[in-house]
Amino acid sequence: NLAAVGLYMVLLARLVGPRRTLLATLLLVSLPAFSLYARIATENFALNPLCAVGGTLCLRLGWERRGWGWPSLAGALFALGTYNHLVFVAYPLALGLAMLCGRWRRQLWRSAALALLGFTLCYAVPTGWQLLHPEGQTFVVRARRIKSREVLHRLLQTPRAVGEMLHGDMLYFRFAGEVAEPAPPLTVAMGLLCGAILLAAVVRRAPHWQTAGFLGLTALFTVLFLQVMVPNNTLHYFLLLVWMLPVAMVLALRHVRARLTLAMALLALCGNNVRRTYVNMVASPQARQGRCGAVAFADNVVISSHFTDVRPLYEALRARQIEVVWAEPLIGWSLQALDLGRDALQVRIVKQDDLRPRPPPGTLIAEYRAPPHEASTAEWAQARTRLHLDNFLVREVSAGSATEMMALPSRP
- The stretch 62-70 carries a mean pLDDT of 76
Looking at the predicted structure, is the pLDDT value of residue 51 above 80?
Answer: yes
Rounded Cα distance between 301 and 60, Å, is 48
Looking at the predicted structure, is the pLDDT value of residue 78 above 80?
Answer: yes
Using pLDDT thresholds of 50, 70 and 90, give the confidence band for residue 14.
confident
> Long-range contacts of range 302-307, CB-CB < 8 Å, 24 or more positions apart?
302/331, 302/332, 302/355, 303/138, 304/328, 304/329, 304/330, 304/331, 305/140, 305/329, 305/331, 306/232, 306/234, 307/231, 307/232
Beta partners for residue 328, in sequence order: 298
**pLDDT at 248 (0 to 100):** 65
Rounded Cα distance between 269 and 30, Å, is 5
Looking at the predicted structure, is the pLDDT value of residue 194 above 50?
Answer: yes
**pLDDT at 17 (0 to 100):** 77
Using pLDDT thresholds of 50, 70 and 90, give the confidence band for residue 5.
confident
Q: What would the pLDDT profile of 150-177 be if each residue is shown by its tens digit?
A: 666 666 766 666 655 555 444 344 333 3
**pLDDT at 252 (0 to 100):** 60
Best-predicted range by mean pLDDT (66-70, 127-131, 301-305): 66-70
Residues in contact with 383: Cβ distance below 8 Å, sequence separation at least 6, in sequence order: 371, 375
Q: What would the pLDDT profile of 18-42 be if each residue is shown by its tens digit?
A: 877 887 787 777 766 666 555 555 5
Question: Could you tell me the end-to-end alpha-carbon distance of the chain, in angstroms, rounded to an integer?
Answer: 43
Could you give the 3-state DSSP secondary structure of residue 411?
coil
3-state secondary structure 24-68: HHHHHHHCHHHHHHCCCCCCCCCCHHHHHHHHHHHHHHHHHCCCC
**pLDDT at 131 (0 to 100):** 65
Q: What would the pLDDT profile of 290-337 be if each residue is shown by its tens digit?
A: 333 333 333 322 222 233 334 444 555 555 544 443 333 343 444 444
**pLDDT at 401 (0 to 100):** 32
> Long-range contacts of range 251-258, CB-CB < 8 Å, 24 or more positions apart?
251/16, 251/20, 251/197, 251/198, 251/201, 251/206, 251/208, 251/211, 251/212, 252/193, 252/194, 252/197, 253/23, 254/20, 254/206, 254/207, 254/208, 258/19
Using pLDDT thresholds of 50, 70 and 90, give the confidence band for residue 233.
low
Largest CA distance in the chain: 75
| HSE (side-chain half, CA atoms, 13 Å) at 227 | 20
Query: DSSP letter string over 239-300?
Result: HHHHHHHHHHHHHHTTTS-HHHHHHHHHHHHHHHHHHHHHIIIIIHHHHHTT--EEEEEEB-
Cβ-contact 223, 158 below 8 angstroms = yes
Beta partners for residue 396, in sequence order: 405
Q: Regarding predicted confidence, which is higher, 328 or 265?
A: 265
Looking at the predicted structure, is the pLDDT value of residue 59 above 60?
Answer: yes
Rounded Cα distance between 155 and 159, Å, is 9
Cβ-contact 168, 235 below 8 angstroms = yes
Residues in contact with 112: Cβ distance below 8 Å, sequence separation at least 6, in sequence order: 59, 71, 96, 99
> Long-range contacts of range 16-23, CB-CB < 8 Å, 24 or more positions apart?
16/208, 16/211, 16/247, 16/250, 16/251, 19/258, 19/261, 20/250, 20/251, 20/254, 22/262, 22/265, 23/246, 23/250, 23/253, 23/261, 23/262, 23/264, 23/265
Query: DSSP letter string over 289-334?
Result: TT--EEEEEEB-SS---TTS--HHHHHHHHHTTEEEEEEE--TTEE
Strands 322-328 and 293-298 come out as parallel
- The stretch 111-116 carries a mean pLDDT of 72
Query: Considering Cα of 170, then 240, then 29, then 37, what sign does the dihedral take?
Result: positive
Using pLDDT thresholds of 50, 70 and 90, give the confidence band for residue 349.
very low
Percent of the chain with pLDDT over 90: 0
Rounded Cα distance between 367 and 50, Å, is 44
Q: What would the pLDDT profile of 351-390 be if each residue is shown by its tens digit?
A: 444 444 444 444 444 444 444 433 333 333 333 333 333 3
Cβ-contact 223, 212 below 8 angstroms = no
- The stretch 199-224 carries a mean pLDDT of 71
Using alpha carbons only, what angle is made at residue 22 by residues 21 and 23, rounded to the nearest 5 degrees? 90
Q: Regarding predicted confidence, which is higher, 50 or 272?
A: 50
